[in-house]
């Protein structure tokens, strides 16, 4: 008993730092069955010192800090019929995760999923998520998982703002580099985010165009900023990011002559319709003429564009332009 | 570990330490610090701070860690796993999506596990997130295995110049990341010299039983192909196609690339949007290539 009292004395003496005050405040508000008034908080939680004004300011900041950690402090009243003094508490079921259980295999998958972020922008979130789930106290079953090692290299801080915006349904704005490299101000209700082919994208309703648009993160030329409040829009039912990252349908068909043994990638995507000793004639599906021309020009005289006629004419004039500019 | 944590981050860690220690009673301080990715002194400072917290002055958290092993009692209030933040959930959802697109075809069982888990964690938000890996994950894992085990690999590679597929036996030297892309460096037996391969262009890897040739990573003496290029239209697309090799703002840029042929083809593929201002030799090479290609159409 006396040992305990000494220990308590030592402990109380040093409680003054902010992190300890935040933890103590959490314990007090989480452990209480009743609402606690500010006065009760200031007298029972160590670390609130100084004049009432100073304590109140401290408390306001602490509430914000806890909210940023995902800990919601509920404000209520002792007697709803009267303008009573406000009371505070943290509801255990909002503090605690509602995940009931995790199987060993699931934990292994989560370990692998979080390890992907090493060195990338969400690394610390991935780490803290894993720690929380490991706290269920189950062993992972790593043997169940094959040796795969996907990697994520995104270091763009804007991704974290986008994730927050989607979670909070908060409108964002940013500067975007247009095709001609002009900088455009965009305002967006972000719905989803994702990666494909090494690039990151955000999709949502463009407030100027009033339609769903997709933006590439590396073309965003400013820090993303938030506009307005949380819950300012709804994400449409059934919105799926995957549909917006699908490659556009290749609805047009070109006829090409490919030099035998060359241009492997294009030949692999084509259908052979005729061949002789030197040339293969193939059908090659494409989406945009500009992409087709750029693809084919890369291969110089190893491929000839036969049809469509208009694309052939455009390719010839592009070559003439390049030849003319480099005389 | 690199930067000092803020009081709020420290508080979050203290809260998360409680349930973690509760289910890992007797864990060593070294192991616990590693799990939380902090240094041992930082962990001890967290534990000391936690030791001074409690419901009231007579109901403090009982924490024992002086022996080098950590145990906890009397922490009922905090002994619960905290809610996951949206960023934490998204980090897992994205990771799971990448894994699911990387799994071998015969692992439908794991696909099912991932679908269940994504629903359990996402609660509807899993559809808002979609990730497809830039390269097959099994490839990077095999390359790392070969590098660590000093074994040769047989790779199928699509060259970026001719876009033709080749099969090569390579002794691994290094794997690195530049501009958010992965590269594999090795001594290529086909080319009989050191080569750098973009990992997203490798379509298969077979780790061979053969021991890798003893090699040092040596920066090969590469003469960079330099040029000044003027862009007349499609500026964003043109700049992006020059990628990491570009410097300068707007439409007048300097380029320093590994390969002159790559540079020439990039200019031709721009369809007239790019013009090489100098050097003269590159200008005449491009004029020659354009005329030669035009020959097909006359």
CA angle A175, A176, A181 (to 5 degrees): 120
**B16 contact residues in A (CB cutoff 8 A):** 128, 131-132, 135
Interface contact flag, B81 A136, Cβ < 8 Å: yes
Domain parsing of chain A, residue ranges:
2-95, 104-144, 159-243, 252-325
The answer to whether residue B280 neighbours chain A at the CB level (below 8 Å) is: no
Contact A126 B12 (CB under 8 A): no
Query: Domain locations in chain B?
Result: 7-73, 86-128, 137-211, 225-297
pLDDT at A79: 66
* B11-42 tens-digit pLDDT: 999 999 999 999 999 999 999 999 999 999 99
What is the pLDDT of chain A when averaged over all its residues? 86
Q: What distance, in Å, lies between the first and last C-alpha atoms of chain A?
A: 97
CB pairs under 8 A between A and B: 372
Q: Where are the alpha helices (DSSP H) in B168-271?
A: 235-242, 260-269
Give the Cβ contact number of residue A247 at 10 Å: 8
Q: Three-state DSSP class for A232? A: coil
Q: How many CB atoms lie within 10 A of CB B175?
A: 17
Statement: the pTM of the whole predicted model exceeds 0.95: no
C-alpha neighbours within 13 Å on the C-beta side of residue A268: 7
Nearest CA to A200 out of A224, A227, A171 is that of A224
- The yes-or-no verdict on residue B136 having pLDDT over 80 is no
Distance CA A108, CA B96 (A): 11
Q: Element (H or E) spanning B170, and its range?
A: strand B165-178
Residues in chain B: 298
Tell whether A142 lies on the interface with B, counting CB pairs under 8 A: no
Residue pair B80/B20 in contact by the 8 Å Cβ criterion:
no
| Alpha-carbon distance B238 to nearest alpha carbon in chain A (angstroms) | 9
Residues linked to residue B28 through DSSP beta bridges, in sequence order: B69
CB count, 10 Å around CB of A100?
7
Name the residue in chain A with its Cα closest to that of B33.
Answer: A131
CA nearest to B265, candidates B280, B246, B250, B285: B285
Query: Is CATH 1.10.357 what the domain over B7-73 is classified as, yes or no?
Result: no
Say yes or no: B124 contacts chain A, CB-CB below 8 A.
Answer: no
pLDDT of residue A312: 94
Nearest CA of chain B to the CA of A4: how many Å?
A: 9
State how far Cα B204 lies from the chain centre. 19
Q: Touching check for B37 and chain A: CB below 8 Å?
A: yes
β B129-131/A183-196 pair status: parallel
Residues 63-102 of A with CB under 8 A from B: 65, 68-71, 92, 94-99
Quick check: A9 pLDDT over 70?
no
pLDDT, one tens digit per residue, over A54-74 is 899 999 999 999 988 889 899
Q: What is the pLDDT of residues B102-135, one digit of tens each?
A: 777 788 888 899 999 998 888 878 888 888 877 7
Look at the domain B137-211 and name its fold. SH3 type barrels. (2.30.30)
Given a contact cutoff of 8 angstroms between Cβ atoms, the answer to whether A176 and A138 are in contact is no
More confident residue, A173 or B244: A173
Task: Look at residues B99, B106, B133 and name the one whose alpha carbon lies nearest to residue A148.
Answer: B99
The per-residue pLDDT for range A42-57, each reduced to its tens digit, is: 988 888 888 889 899 9
Question: What is the value of ipTM here, to two decimals?
Answer: 0.79
CATH of A159-243, picked from 2.40.128, 1.10.357, 2.30.30, 3.40.50, is 2.30.30
CATH architecture, range A252-325: 2-Layer Sandwich (3.30)
Which residues in chain B have Cβ-Cβ distances shorter than 8 Å to A114?
91-92, 95
Residue A261 is encoded by which pair of tokens? 């043994």
**CATH annotation of A2-95:** 1.10.10
């Amino acid at each position: 008993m006396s040992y305990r009292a000494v220990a308590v004395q030592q402990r109380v003496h040093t409680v003054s730092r902010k992190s300890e005050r935040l933890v103590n405040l959490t314990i007090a508000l989480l452990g209480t069955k009743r609402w606690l008034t500010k006065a009760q908080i200031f007298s029972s939680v160590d670390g609130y010192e100084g004049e009432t004004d100073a304590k109140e300011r401290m408390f306001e900041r602490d509430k914000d800090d806890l909210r940023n950690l995902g800990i919601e402090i509920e404000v209520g009243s002792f007697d709803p019929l009267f303008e009573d003094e406000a009371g505070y508490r943290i509801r255990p079921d909002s503090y605690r995760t509602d995940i009931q259980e995790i199987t060993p295999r699931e934990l292994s998958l989560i370990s692998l999923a979080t390890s992907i972020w090493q060195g990338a922008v969400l690394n610390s979130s991935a780490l803290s998520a894993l720690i929380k789930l490991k706290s269920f106290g189950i062993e992972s079953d790593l043997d169940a998982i094959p040796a795969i090692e996907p990697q994520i290299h995104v270091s763009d801080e804007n991704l974290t703002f986008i994730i927050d915006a989607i979670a909070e349904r908060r409108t964002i704005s940013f500067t975007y580099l247009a095709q001609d490299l002009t900088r455009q101000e965009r305002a967006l209700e972000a719905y989803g985010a994702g990666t494909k082919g090494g690039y990151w994208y955000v999709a949502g309703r463009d407030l100027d165009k009033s339609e769903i648009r997709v933006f590439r993160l590396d073309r965003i030329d400013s820090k993303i900023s938030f506009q307005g409040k949380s819950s300012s829009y709804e994400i449409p039912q059934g919105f799926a990011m995957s549909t917006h990252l699908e490659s556009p349908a290749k609805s047009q068909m070109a006829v090409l002559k490919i030099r035998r043994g060359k241009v492997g990638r294009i030949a692999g995507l084509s259908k052979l319709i005729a061949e002789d000793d030197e040339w293969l004639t193939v059908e090659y599906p494409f989406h945009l003429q500009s992409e087709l021309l750029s693809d084919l020009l890369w291969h110089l005289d190893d491929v000839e564009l036969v049809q469509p006629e208009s694309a052939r004419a455009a390719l010839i004039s592009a070559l003439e332009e390049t030849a003319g500019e480099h005389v | 570990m690199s930067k000092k944590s803020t009081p709020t981050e420290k508080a979050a860690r203290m809260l998360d330490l409680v349930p973690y220690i509760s289910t890992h009673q007797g864990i060593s301080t070294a192991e616990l610090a590693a799990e939380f990715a902090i240094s041992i002194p930082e962990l001890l400072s967290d534990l000391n701070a936690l030791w001074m917290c409690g419901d009231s002055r007579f109901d403090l958290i009982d924490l024992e860690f002086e022996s080098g092993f950590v145990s906890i009692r009397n922490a009922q209030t905090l002994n619960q796993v905290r809610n996951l933040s949206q960023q934490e959930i998204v980090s897992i959802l994205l990771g799971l999506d990448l894994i699911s697109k990387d799994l071998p075809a015969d692992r439908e069982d794991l696909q099912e596990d991932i679908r269940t888990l994504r629903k359990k964690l996402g609660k509807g938000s899993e559809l808002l997130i979609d990730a497809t890996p830039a390269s097959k994950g099994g490839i990077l894992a095999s390359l790392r295995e070969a590098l660590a085990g000093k074994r040769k690999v047989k790779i199928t590679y699509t060259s970026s110049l001719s876009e033709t597929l080749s099969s090569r036996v390579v002794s691994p030297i290094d794997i690195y990341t530049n501009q958010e892309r992965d590269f594999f460096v090795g001594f290529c037996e086909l080319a009989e010299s050191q080569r750098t391969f973009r990992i997203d262009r490798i379509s298969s890897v077979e780790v061979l039983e053969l021991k890798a040739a003893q090699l040092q990573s040596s920066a090969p003496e590469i003469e960079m192909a330099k040029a000044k290029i003027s862009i007349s239209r499609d500026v964003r697309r043109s700049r992006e196609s020059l990628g990491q090799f570009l410097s300068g703002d707007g439409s007048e840029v300097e380029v320093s690339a590994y390969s002159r042929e790559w540079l020439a083809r990039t200019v031709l593929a721009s369809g007239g949007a790019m013009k090489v201002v100098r050097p003269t030799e590159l200008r005449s090479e491009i004029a020659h290539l354009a005329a030669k290609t035009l020959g097909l159409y006359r």
